[in-house]
Amino acid sequence: MTSSQKVAVVTGGSRGIGFEICHQLGLMGYHVVFTSRTAALGEKALSDLHHFGIHADYFTADAGNEADCKVFADWLATITSRVDLLVNNAGVFLDTQDHAPLLECGTDRLLDTFSTNLFGAVYMTRLLVPLLEKSSDGQIINVSSMLGQLDTMHSGFPAYRLSKLALNGTTKIFAEELASHNIRINSICPGWCRTELGSQEAPKSAAEGASEIVWLATDKSKVTGKFFNNRSVVDW
């Protein structure tokens, strides 16, 4: 990658919204580095991105595994001297019933959901700060959901809701802590999209959802510590 080319890291970038984020950022000239838990999916996505003429690299890593994230961060530092954008996109949806109550939500489901949706973002953020602060405009985007909006919170999908609520809280805390590092961070809901996680009943395509993240990534207002939906700041 060239010294002038912006570098974007996208977790969970092998399919769905993650792949479309890589695709769209790549077409805008970013060098994209993405992770995937599954090597076969990652290699296929890398081949597809290269087919589009996009500069990209891939690393097999489970965002919810701190050791994997550390190995990835160490490797990343060998191929680039800085990161301009981190998109914490990797996520899981393990709730099996639309209105399953928290009273009946198994502990394993909660832990497995938080492992990827929350802890993965925390691990990656901590580990990539040394590279992000070398950018003239270091930015982190946490892919959240309106299901995690406290202002409208109600029952249903408890593990997913709580993980995204916690992710939003993490965004607020990191916004204050990262200000001295010249790194800004925001949460955004891409909307309900037709992906493996979102189902084929969703009204938006994965590309449309990704365009929301790309919009925020290229926004010139330089805001930090906010939650976005439909390209506007919304209540937490």
Residues tagged active-site: 160
CA distances to 82, 211, 224 from 219, rounded to whole Å, are 20, 12, 11
- Among 68, 43, 225, 208, CA closest to 142: 225
Burial of 232 (0-12, 13-18, 19+ CB in 10 A): exposed
Among the listed residues 119, 39, 18, 131, the one whose alpha carbon sits nearest the alpha carbon of residue 85: 131
Query: How many of the other CB atoms lie within 10 Å of CB of 26?
Result: 21
- What φ, ψ does residue 229 adopt, rounded to 5°? -150, 135
DSSP state of 38: -
Helix (H, G, I), strand (E, B) or coil at 185: strand
What single-letter amino acid sits at 137? Answer: D
Strand 232-234 to 227-229 pairing: antiparallel
